[in-house]
Structures are given as structure tokens and as C-alpha cells.
Amino acid sequence: MTTVFGIPTQALFGQLLIGLINGSFYAMLSLGLSVIFGLLNIINFAHGAQYMMGAFAAYFLLQWAGLGYWWALVIAPIVVGLIGIVIERTMLKRLYALDHLYGLLLTFGLALVIQGLFRNQFGSSGLPFQIPPELTGGRNLGFMILPNYRAWVVVFSLVTCLATWYVIERTKLGAYLRAATENPSLVQAFGVNVPRMITLTYGFGVALAALAGVLAAPIYQVNPLMGADLIIVVFAVVVIGGMGSIAGSIITGFALGIVEGLTKVFYPEASNTVIFVIMALVLLVRPTGLFGRDR
Amino acid sequence: MLKRIAIVLAALLALGPAAALAQISDGVIKIGVLNDQSSLYADLAGMGSVVAARMAVEDFGADKKGMKVEIVSADHQNKADVGSSIARQWYDVDKVDVIVDVPNSGVALAVNQITRDKGKALLVSGAATADLTGKACSPNTIHWTYDTWALANGTGNAIVKTGGDTWFFITADYAFGHALERDVEAVVIKNGGKVLGKVRHPLNTADFSSFLLQAQSSKAKIVGLANAGGDTTNSIKQAAEFGIVKGGQSLAGLLVFITDVHGLGLPTAQGLIFTETFYWDLNDKTRAFGKRFAERDKGIHPTMIHAGVYSAVTHYLKAVEALKSDDGTKVIAKMKEMPTDDPLFGKGTVRADGRKIHPAYLVEVKKPSESKAPWDYYKIRATIPADQAFRPLDQGDCPLVKK
């Protein structure tokens, strides 16, 4: 059997694929963060909590309304996105004129409060959520068994990421959004309702987080703390990709998933730290991130 | 004259209880519950252990006996440095007499040393490493509920003897995981089995697919999960996804708690076999305790860690009462001298190395169809008698044991 550094190539393929799957969560979450930062200049630390709320929304829909996974995929992002809009209208709105730090502190505090409330109510062991029957099982690829659900996650998140990128970078609506970040008062002068646009953008970013949460629910336990650790990694991804760069966050998300996957083969003990090592190196060489622009 | 007698009487009365409890520092027995209250071990220990300690104090009737008992608690966040500084603060400033629970072996080993240096008392229920009664044993520590040796002996033996002779370990990369892996490996090899590989993951990992894939390609018959709490539930859940069990391999959850089974749900957890030293549905006394506990802990039924805290605090208070002192070293010595007896673990003893002795149970998780009520989760497959459940006294290398 052919080997690379003592690891059979077949096993390596498996690990690369797994990395890609984990990368799709990083990509979706960092995309939402990038959209919010790019257009609102808010460092949304509540993103992990909103991801968790997405997963819980799926759980509640199933338990209380009897609506399964597919419904959750549509309803949970809308519900959590609306909560995001309320947060933006009542709290974040007041902070735009201030330093980034205030937004960060507010959203960080919100995240702690939300996670604390959920933990108090639902404990820390998590709640069960099954894979939808249509996607159970897996197919044998020769070098590994690929669970159907994971394949679905990769495809779905790739499509979502590309669609988001297309809307922001290639459509008229996206052009408005980007113009509004450069010069809000000028865009407003052209008759565009900038505050409403910003509100909807935040709602959209939050909805993306919730969508990732629904995708994650059948894989991980639906757990009040599921976003707390992830958000730190995702921030590292955003920093490596370049704050506010849409394409950068998508590419870096997938790439770092793969790097992390490989670390789990060669030196698993370091799999929690490898992303932060890369972040430190990137910050030393390119402080604006791999795809970032100087502002 | 009468007035003078009254004054003397009043003075005597005032002095009375104080004189009786002259050896209790500050007149208060202060119990500190130290554990993870916010992360992956918060349900299996956490505030539930505080509830258990409180129930032990109430059931003991401390108030009626004129003993003043206070309970404080704190979150060590699974960090040895945080746990150590809380322990020091408690012992030095807050006058805490005994620390109980301390899940997370890394933290427990650190607090074990501090307790010994300060001459206080430590009753471990949550932590697993058998080193607490082995090379790290201390005259100030009792290891109450279970340990890695007992888990290895119960689960490991049962699995190897039914044909599971090749193993791959997925191990939490800290003191607990290492100890559990070491003890199970010893059992596997002793019974003629082989360990084909192992991988170590950081504590509190979300995604295990990479490790499961390595386990799968090892072709080992048994994938041993030397981790706990959220790490175990995530491993089990994702193992189902990757078809580990369908592919002919079996999972061995080496440390699983009833709260983990509850979180996984029976469809995923059914058929798992593991070792526990307590189950709420063992007999009338444990059922009564389970019911009372659940009412006070948001419906969560007690884990063996919660039961261990109750039992340990009960025995501690008995020893303090008998000794009329809360001096840490003396109380621990008294606790080893006195036989234990409580509704949850029955009669038992505490050995010279600090090991509490009671039976262990090999349990199997029920199928969804067999479970009649919420939290009705286990079938007892075998009872391991007290004298076989724990590591023999002479094999632990504990310096307190004379050879």
C-alpha cells in the first residue's frame, strides 16, 4: 500500500474529506461574520450563541410542533434571524458611531447571557436530535464510508456560500450594500434606505449562523455550549482570511478545516491549537489577513 | 441571689454547645463543593453535587445535633490552576474544612496535593484516576465513588471475555484519559488481547470523525472510548454515523453516566455496556433518593457521582460527630476506621490507601421498547462484589500501605 509520511494514502483521502466537512461549518459561520463585519463594522461575538440557537430552534420545532429537519432548515434561520433583527434595532444600532470594541463587548455579553440561560434550562449534556431518515446511512467510497448526511452538509454549505458571495459581489443589491459600507450618507442621498438595509444584513448574517446550527444539530449534540468553543476558532478563520473579505472567509474556512483534519492524523494532540498557530503566523506576515484589504 | 444563679446558668448554657464543639474550627463545619459547573461535566456532577451534599447534611440532621454546617461551591472550569487557586482561597481565607467531588482528574490531583500540604480533607467523587489511591495517595484524601481501575476491571474484563480481544483507544488527552487507557490496556493484555492503536484528542472536542476513521481503519474489534461527558456522547453519536457498529466493530464506552445516556437518547445509546457503582433504580432506598434528588435538580436523576457525594458527606459528618473535631487529617483517619453505612451504597469500608469499597455494576442500556419511563435506562447485567470491584490494596504502590 502506498503511504505518505507513514500514513496510507487511502486513510489520508478520508481525512481530507473529513476536513472539508468540518471546513464547511467554518466557512458558513465565518461568512456570516464577514458579512456582518463588512457591512456593519460590528464584530459579532454572539455568532456562536446564534448558531446554538439555530440548533435549539430545530429541536423545539421537532419537540413542540412536530416539524422535522427539513422544516427546521427553513423556519429556524428565519426565527433566529428575526431575533437578530430585534437585537440590531434595539441595541446594536446605538453603537455604529463608536469604536468596534463596544460592539464586540455588547455581543460578547449577549452571548454569555444567552448561553447561560440555555445552560440553566437545558443542562450541559445536550439533547438528542436524529439525522433525517432520508439522509441516514452512508456510501462506501473505497477508502472510507461517507455518511450521506455529511455529504449533504458539504454540498449544502458550498451552495449557500457561493450564493451569498454571488449576491454580494455580483448583483445590484450587493453593489448597494457595498456602496453603503464605503459611504452611507451618499448612498442614502440616492434614496436607498440604508438603516433598513443594515438591519436586514444583520438579520441575514444571524440567519446564516442559525442555518449552520440546524445543519450541525444531527451531527453534534444540541448543546447550549456548542457555539462557545467554535466561535473562537471561527474568529481565527476570519482573521486569517481577512476581516470583511467574503471570498476570503469561504476559502479559508474550507482550507483550515482540511489543515485541522490533517493535524488530527499526524499529531492529534495539537488539533485544537493548529489554527491559532496559523493565525499568529499570518498576522506576523500579513496583518490584514490572506485576502484582506487595507482600510 | 436568684439573679446570680440565672446569670451563671445562662453563661453555662451559652458555653454548653461551644464547649461540646470546641474542636470545630470557628464552630462551623464548612464543606466546599468544587467541580465543573459550566462545561462538559456540569450535568454529571455540577450543581447536582451541591444538591446531593445539601441533602446529606439535612438527612444527617446536623441542625438537631447542634452542628453548624455550611456548604459553598465553585466552578473550576476544568483548569488545574483555577481549581488550585480556589482550593487555596477556600482553605486559607474562607475556612473551608473539606472539599468534595472535584471531577476532572487533572484538577483532583492538584487539589489532592494542596489538601495534604494544608492538613485538610478531600473527598473525591467525580474524578476517575486510580492514582489518587495509588502513587498519589494521601492521608488527607478518600476516593469515594469509582476509579479507572474499577471501570477497566468491570467493562474491560466483560468485553474481552466475550471475544473483544483487539482494541483501539480514543483517549482524552489528560490525566484521566491516560489513566483509564492504561488500566484498560492492562486488563486487555492480561486476558490475552491486543491493543492495535490509540489516538489522543484534546478535552472538549466537538468532532470525532477523524479519530473514528482511524479507529475504523485499524480493524480493531473494539473501539474503546477513554473519555467522558460530552466527549463520549459526541463520539458515540458520530460513530453511528460512520457505521462503526454496522461495520462489525463494537464501541466500549469506558466511562458513561446516566446523564450521557439521557442526552444521547435510547435509540443511539441502546446496547452500550459499561460499569457504574450506582443506579437510582436498584432498590427502594435508591429509588426514594432518586425521586427526591430529581425534584431538586430540574428532573435530572442522580449519577453515581452525585450519589457518591451524598454518601461521602454523610460519612464525613458521622466521623466529625464521633471525633468532635473537624481537623482534616484526624477526620480522614477516623473515616477509615469507621465502617460506612448509607442508603445508597449500603455497608462498606474505607481502606488504608483511601479507597472506599462497595460493589460495582455492569449495566447495559435498554432498548427504547424496554424503557417504561423517563430515566428507566439500565439493565443490570452483573454485580461485581465489593472485594473484587477495586484494585487490590497491595497493587497500587500507595506509600501509605505497609508491605
Across the range B74-84, mean pLDDT stands at 95
Report whether A53 contacts A210 (CB < 8 A): yes
Quickly state the pLDDT bin for B21 (edges 50, 70, 90).
Answer: very low
d(CA A153, CA A281): 30
Quickly state the pLDDT bin for B27 (edges 50, 70, 90).
Answer: confident
Q: Using one digit for the tens of pLDDT, what is the confidence trace for B39-67?
A: 889 999 999 999 999 999 999 999 999 99
Report whether A149 contacts B241 (CB < 8 A): yes
State whether A268 and B43 contact (CB < 8 Å). no
d(CA A247, CA B254): 44
Which of A119, A226, A265 lies closest to B210 in CB terms? Answer: A265
Handedness of CA A206, A236, A28, A292 (dihedral sign): positive
Window A:191-220, CB contacts with B under 8 Å: 219-220
| CA distance to A12, A261, A271, per residue, from A5 (Å) | 10, 15, 18
Residue A267 domain-assigned?
yes
More confident residue, B179 or A5: B179
For residue B17, pLDDT beyond 70? no
More confident residue, B166 or A244: B166
Closest C-alpha to B168, from B208, B215, B212: B215
Residue A294 domain-assigned?
no
Residue B12: what pLDDT?
45
Cell numbers representing residue A84 in the block:
437578530
State whether B241 and A8 contact (CB < 8 Å). no
For domain B155-276+360-389, the CATH architecture is: 3-Layer(aba) Sandwich (3.40)
For residue A230, pLDDT beyond 50? yes
Q: Which range is least confidently modeled, A9-13, B19-23, B270-274, B300-304? A: B19-23
Most A CBs within 10 A among B212, B213, B377, hence the mutation to make, goes to B213
Residue A7: what pLDDT?
65
Contact list in B for residue A138 (CB cut-off 8 A) is 241-243
DSSP state of A272: T
Across the range A191-217, mean pLDDT stands at 94
Q: Using one digit for the tens of pLDDT, what is the confidence trace for A242-286?
A: 887 888 999 999 999 999 988 888 888 888 899 999 999 999 999
State chain B's mean pLDDT as an integer.
91
Q: Which range is least confidently modeled, A40-44, A90-94, B102-106, B257-261? A: A40-44
- CATH number, domain containing residue A255: 1.10.3470
Q: Establish if A226 touches chain B: CB-CB under 8 angstroms.
A: yes
Tell me the count of A-B CB pairs closer than 8 A.
116
DSSP string of A155-213, one letter each residue: HHHHHHHHHHHHHHHHSHHHHHHHHHHH-HHHHHHTT--HHHHHHHHHHHHHHHHHHHH
DSSP state of A76: H
Q: Using one digit for the tens of pLDDT, what is the confidence trace for A134-157?
A: 998 888 887 778 889 999 999 999
Q: Using one digit for the tens of pLDDT, what is the confidence trace for A96-119?
A: 888 888 999 999 999 999 999 998
Q: Which range is least confidently modeled, A2-16, B189-203, B276-290, B344-358? A: A2-16
Closest C-alpha to B136, from B403, B402, B399: B399
d(CA B50, CA B94): 18
Cell numbers representing residue B98 in the block:
473539606
Element holding A8 (H helix, E strand): strand A7-8
What radius of gyration, in Å, describes the C-alpha atoms of chain A?
Answer: 19
The count of structural domains within chain A is 1
For residue B5, pLDDT beyond 70? no
For residue B84, pLDDT beyond 80? yes
Q: Using one digit for the tens of pLDDT, what is the confidence trace for B89-147?
A: 999 999 999 999 999 999 999 999 999 999 999 999 999 999 999 999 999 999 999 99
Residue A4: what pLDDT?
63
Top CATH class of B24-146+282-358 equals: alpha beta
d(CA A35, CA A37): 6
Q: Using one digit for the tens of pLDDT, what is the confidence trace for B318-339?
A: 999 999 999 999 999 999 999 9
Quickly state the pLDDT bin for B284 (edges 50, 70, 90).
Answer: very high
d(CA B381, CA B362): 5
Is B82 buried (19+), middle (13-18) or exposed (0-12) by CB count in 10 A? middle
More confident residue, B9 or A136: A136
Quickly state the pLDDT bin for B4 (edges 50, 70, 90).
Answer: low
Which of B202, B210, B260 lies closest to A125 in CB terms? Answer: B260
Across the range B170-183, mean pLDDT stands at 95
d(CA B109, CA A252): 40
In this structure, are strands B378-384 and B360-365 parallel, antiparallel, or unpaired?
antiparallel
Window B:19-38, CB contacts with A under 8 Å: 38
Cell numbers representing residue B275 in the block:
460499569
Q: Establish if B143 touches chain A: CB-CB under 8 angstroms.
A: no
Window B:320-379, CB contacts with A under 8 Å: none
Which of A145, A221, A268 lies closest to B242 in CB terms? Answer: A145
**Domain of A205?**
3-285
In this structure, are strands B360-365 and B69-75 parallel, antiparallel, or unpaired?
unpaired
In this structure, are strands A145-147 and B29-35 parallel, antiparallel, or unpaired?
unpaired
Across the range B228-238, mean pLDDT stands at 91
Element holding B30 (H helix, E strand): strand B29-35
Residue A277 domain-assigned?
yes
For residue B18, pLDDT beyond 70? no
State whether B230 and A126 contact (CB < 8 Å). yes
Which of A14, A124, A127 lies closest to B39 in CB terms? Answer: A124
d(CA A253, CA A208): 14
Cell numbers representing residue B396 in the block:
497500587
Contact list in B for residue A269 (CB cut-off 8 A) is 173, 200, 202
Cell numbers representing residue A25 in the block:
461549518
Residue B6: what pLDDT?
54
Closest C-alpha to B317, from B27, B30, B4: B30
Q: Using one digit for the tens of pLDDT, what is the confidence trace for B374-398?
A: 999 999 999 999 999 999 999 999 9
For residue A1, pLDDT beyond 80? no
ipTM: 0.81
Q: Using one digit for the tens of pLDDT, what is the confidence trace for B145-158?
A: 999 999 999 999 99
Q: Using one digit for the tens of pLDDT, what is the confidence trace for A41-68?
A: 888 999 999 999 999 999 999 999 999 9
- CB neighbour list of residue A70: distance below 8 Å, 6 or more residues apart: A132
For residue B19, pLDDT beyond 60? no
More confident residue, A74 or A1: A74
Residue A10: what pLDDT?
67
Neighbours of A114 (CB within 10 A): 20
State chain A's mean pLDDT as an integer.
89
Residue of A nearest to B233 (CA): A221
For residue B268, pLDDT beyond 80? yes
Contact list in A for residue B233 (CB cut-off 8 A) is 125-126, 221
Report whether B293 contacts B55 (CB < 8 A): yes
H helical segments located in B99-199: 105-118, 148-151, 157-161, 175-190
User: In the Cβ-directed half-sphere of A118, how many Cα atoms lie within 13 Å?
Assistant: 30
Amino acid letter, B46: G
d(CA A84, CA A204): 8
CA B172 to chain centre: 17
Which of A126, A150, A219 lies closest to B263 in CB terms? Answer: A126
Domain boundaries, chain B: 24-146+282-358, 155-276+360-389
For residue B20, pLDDT beyond 60? no
